[in-house]
Chain A
Amino acid sequence: MADTVKLPEDSFKPISADDRAALDSEKIAAPSLTFAQDAWRRLKKNKGAWASLIILAIIFLMAFGSIFVSPHNPNAVNPSYANLPSKIPGININGFNGTLVQAGQRIDAYKQAGASNVHYIMGTDYLGRDLFSRVLYGTRVSLIIALVATLFDLTIGVAYGMFSGWKGGRIDTFMQRVIEIILSIPNLVVIVLLILILKPGMLSIIIAIALTSWTNMARLVRAQTLELKEQEFILAARTLGERPLKIAFKHLLPNLSSVIIINTMFTIPNAIFFEATLSYIGIGISSPQASLGTLLNDGQKNFQFLPYQMWWPALVLSIIMLAFNLLGDGLRDAFDPRTKE
């Protein structure tokens, strides 16, 4: 018995195109997804996050679209139409039909003001300015402040965190001490001090929020960098003599992206909240500019008699905060499936 295996001759022939097609039809693997595609798929499954994403998109579109198309001029003062309640054409529910209770009787405020041919979806404020346009304008200001502050936060926080984590040792300890000192003063106090020095205004609010909110990002990025820099692919890049800056951009940053994106989703509502608080106290945005905080402050003065003037900005502010929080939660689950039960 010879010790050979006899293979049939046709095993050595190249397979024909038909055979290959037959083989492919047997395959039952799903198309391979990249990390981002996978995260996107999981995000779409999360109803709350998906709805938040759509709501935020709508709010962004409306707020920034109102630069070009606004129902009314947000700054046009019209005293004869002052304090009109909200009136949405076609809806006849008290509170949305332009009527309000005055001296125990429900009257049509629009008829009284002689404004029968106009309607204000959210009503008007004490100067007769269209509240809907003001809310859109205020939302835009709040969003711009939050986004620009977050952009700073991204650059400072990420760079600080990566540098601290990458260097390690004494530099790392020192840099972490600095963060601890910053964290030991309430953020709002620091922001208020900075605004006092920079004089109230939109720019100083952006700078103040940006200078204080990066600490959290820096800590998270540092922790992740400490973990990543011990891994083989970084070692490989170092061994090949790659410059640290290039390693940071090419190897670290893509791997940090999920942490960064998730944290951004929590920084933005925080910035909006700080801006609203500052404007509410009276050291933020000043008239005639408006933000959600100033609108709340204006509305709160008349809350007893004209509650809608505070309800609308409060509603919009809460919805934005809610949507960012839900989206942040959803993104966290999407990027890190382990956290999902």
Chain B
Amino acid sequence: MAKYLAKRIFYLILTLFIVITVTFFLMKLLPGTPLTNQAKLSKSQIALIYEQYGLNKPVWQQYLLYLAGAVKGNFGTSFQFSDQPVSYLISSRIGPSLQIGLQAMVVGVIIGIIIGAFGAMKQNTWVDSTTTVVSILGISIPSFVLAVLLQYYLGLKAGWFPIAEWGGFIYTVLPTLALGAQPLAESARFVRTEMVDVLSSDYIELAKAKGLSKTGVIFHHALRNSLIPLITIVGPLAVNIMTGSMVVENIFSIPGIGEQFVKSVLTNDYPTIMGLTIVYSFMLCVVLLFTDILYGIVDPRIRLTGKAN
């Protein structure tokens, strides 16, 4: 296990290194300068500004400096907000994004498990069809459409929740719902398929034959075994939530990193874009590593095959 962990962490670092390198050189390829009114500036002024941001050095030096800074969590200074370090911009905004993302993930997956399990238990009845309809709709309706509809009908018309801004828990409800629909649908579908498989297996028959109560069979035998593979879709779901958050945070004007990313893209704030790209892939790498380790702990068969390889 320790060896496996070390290998995975080595790959995580390698991945991040490649991500940093590629984004750095991609950004160097981008057109445009960080100067807002270049025409009004004299040559010496431009040279001064370039020196301040370290843009006068050769590219390879800039790259090494950036790499050294990135290791310490320093991603340079934002072009959009002068004197604002990117790391501060990100760290002050990551809280809301993490909160909404985690809430959406937890709420979505838990409700998805419940719906999916019910669908599998009452297979081929109206409960099952409702499950299928809910999961297909959840996958098909883009989160930003859902966000606008929720904002209008639950926020503005019904007045139950604030329509935008960031404050207490009540402000997180609508964004969580909008982002949670996809994990809900995906996990409901996944759990249903898994559970239908498990319910028709021999050990469930045995448990039933031994006279266990129906709830005992469902909770102790069926649900547990259907939930293990669910860990594998947590990574893709995290990607979904990150993607969705960029738009949903904009709709609800939440001061998160998704909103900042879009803003930086629209204002050509390259250091912030780079910093956020690295943070996004770091978060995703950690989620993937975490789920892989968890999967190995929960399902002993994985560990065995790992050794065989």
List residues of A whose CB falls within 8 A of some B CB. 177, 180-181, 184-189, 192-193, 196-197, 199, 269, 273, 276-277, 280-283, 296, 300, 303-304, 307, 310, 314, 317-318, 321-322, 325-326, 341
Q: Please, how many angstroms separate the alpha-carbon atoms of A241 and B15 in the complex?
A: 40
Q: Is B223 an interface residue (CB 8 A)?
A: no
Q: Please, how many angstroms separate the alpha-carbon atoms of A197 and B29 in the complex?
A: 7
User: In the assembled complex, which residues on chain A have CB atoms less than 8 Å from the CB atom of B273?
Assistant: 192-193, 196
Q: Are A310 and B243 in contact (CB under 8 A)?
A: no
A contact face: mostly helix, strand, loop, or mixed: helix
Known: A177-B11, A281-B247, A304-B152. A186 touches B145 (CB 8 A): no
Known: A300-B148, A341-B196. A322 touches B262 (CB 8 A): no
Q: Are A326 and B136 in contact (CB under 8 A)?
A: yes
14 pairs, A vs B, C-beta closer than 8 Å: A180-B11, A181-B14, A192-B273, A196-B268, A269-B140, A277-B243, A281-B262, A282-B262, A282-B266, A283-B266, A307-B152, A318-B141, A321-B142, A341-B123
B contact face: mostly helix, strand, loop, or mixed: helix
User: In the assembled complex, which residues on chain B have CB atoms less than 8 Å from the CB atom of A310?
Assistant: 145, 148
Chain B: interface residue total (CB-CB under 8 A):
44
Tell me the minimal C-beta distance from B175 to chain A in angstroms: 16
**Smallest CB-CB separation from A320: which chain B residue?**
B140
Per-residue interface assignment for chain B, residues 134 to 153, with 1 indicating a CB less than 8 Å from any chain A CB and 0 otherwise: 00110111101100110010
Residue from B137, B140, B284 in contact with A185 in the complex, judged by beta carbons closer than 8 Å: B284
Among B138-189, those with CB < 8 Å from A are: 139-142, 144-145, 148-149, 152, 156
Q: Are B141 and A186 in contact (CB under 8 A)?
A: no
A-B contact count (CB 8 A): 104
Q: Are B18 and A322 in contact (CB under 8 A)?
A: no
Q: Is B281 an interface residue (CB 8 A)?
A: yes
Q: Please, how many angstroms separate the alpha-carbon atoms of A193 and B261 in the complex?
A: 11
Q: Is B242 an interface residue (CB 8 A)?
A: yes
User: In the assembled complex, which residues on chain A have CB atoms less than 8 Å from the CB atom of B137?
Assistant: 322
Known pairs A181-B18, A199-B31; list 9 more (Cβ under 8 Å). A181-B14, A184-B15, A184-B285, A189-B242, A196-B30, A196-B265, A281-B246, A281-B266, A314-B145
Known: A184-B281, A196-B30, A197-B26. A318 touches B136 (CB 8 A): no
